[in-house]
Amino acid sequence: MTATGAALVLGATGTVGSRVVARLAARGSRVRAASRRAAPVDGAESVRFDWYDPATWASALSGMDRVHLVAPVDSATPADVMLPFLEQARAAGVRRAVLLSSSAIPAGGPAVGQVHEALPGLFGEWAVLRPSWFMQNFTGDHLHARSIREEGVIRTAAGEGRVAFVDADDIAAVAVHALTDVPAPCTDLVVTGPEALSHTDVAAVLTEVTGRTVVHRPLGHEEMRDRLAASMPLEYAAMLAGLDRANAGGAEDRTTDTVLRLTGRPASTFRDHVTRAVRPVGGE
């Protein structure tokens, strides 16, 4: 059973948020797409929202009864702004909150893990999506994707550790169910793809599908941290490099049936994703 209602989607122009908006709109749901520039979105109301400008919060929340939460980008302490917002959301009539977190961060863990821990005490209906690392990291606008396009190289501190990379389309499909299913999940949902791959495996698939040689070049933890710090705050870069190091030790070497269980269809494989997302060399 699904519920009707009005959903506020934060990060509505992002990798997952844009897909959540599109799926909700396709179902005929009332959806408000929130972003810092209030960019127009087909099938949705658009509103300006900035985590660091509380003056934008009330208009985003007005009339909404559920919210899809995406933490502020590059913040190692997102709870500082997210928890006051969630208090205001509850007071404004929001009944259900769905938080986009990470499979690498448990309740009470660093960064958004603090928000995860607080969520059940704030809302009677809730869910935390904990996806593995995105397949789009290799095909979109991520540092890895840019390095692949420019140099044919993936650099990580993950060694030969395996990760069950997941398609953002599958994450969004799970998010829509978490926002609309009755009863609400009221749990955390670890969302993975159907197979665990090393970054060397990822490079091999990219090479086979695109026809262009891609290789994985392992870095040390400090090398990876410093490379990331060139484009983001050092504290956040250190956290990401630490997650890579955890992956080297097998932290993400697992798969779940969450996509199949909630959506009724299997999760996409990495090869399927690359085939859809990347044009082969010489292709039309």
- Beta-bridged to residue 70, according to DSSP, are 100
What is the per-residue pLDDT for 5? 82
pLDDT band at 223 (very low <50, low <70, confident <90, very high): very high
Helices (H), 109-249: 113-122, 143-151, 168-180, 199-210, 221-229, 234-248
Compute the distance between CA of residue 252 and CA of residue 246 in angstroms, rounded to an integer.
8
Exposure of 170 in the CB half-sphere (CA atoms within 13 A): 33
For residue 54, report the phi and psi dihedrals to the nearest 5 degrees: -60, -15
Query: Is residue 231 assigned to a domain?
Result: no
HSE, side-chain direction, 13 A CA sphere, residue 73: 11
pLDDT band at 1 (very low <50, low <70, confident <90, very high): low
71 located within any domain = yes
* Residue 282: band (very low, low, confident or very high) from pLDDT cuts 50, 70, 90: very low
Specify the number of domains making up the chain. 1
- Please indicate, yes or no, if residue 282 is contained in any of the structural domains: no
- Evaluate if residue 278 carries a pLDDT over 90: no
Model confidence, pTM: 0.93
Alpha helix stretches (DSSP H) within 27-167 = 57-61, 79-91, 113-122, 143-151
Residue 153 lies in a domain: no
For 200-229, what is the mean pLDDT? 96
Find residue 216's DSSP bridge partners.
Answer: 154
Note whether 170 and 267 are within 8 A (CB): yes
pLDDT > 70: what percent of the chain?
Answer: 96
Give the pLDDT band of residue 175 (cuts 50, 70, 90).
very high
Average pLDDT, the chain: 94
- pLDDT for 280 equals 58
Amino acid identity for residue 249 in this structure: G
> Is the residue at 82 inside a domain?
yes
Instruction: State mean pLDDT over 96-117.
Output: 95
Residue 120 lies in a domain: yes
d(CA 209, CA 203): 10
- Residue 109's domain comprises 6-133+168-192+254-267
11, HSE (Cβ side, Cα atoms, 13 Å)? 17
Q: What is the pLDDT of residue 2?
A: 63
Q: What is the CATH number of the domain that holds 66?
A: 3.40.50.720
Confidence (pLDDT) at 283: 46
pLDDT, tens digit (0-9, with 9 covering 90-100), for 14-52: 999 999 999 999 999 999 999 999 888 888 999 999 999
Amino acid at 117: E
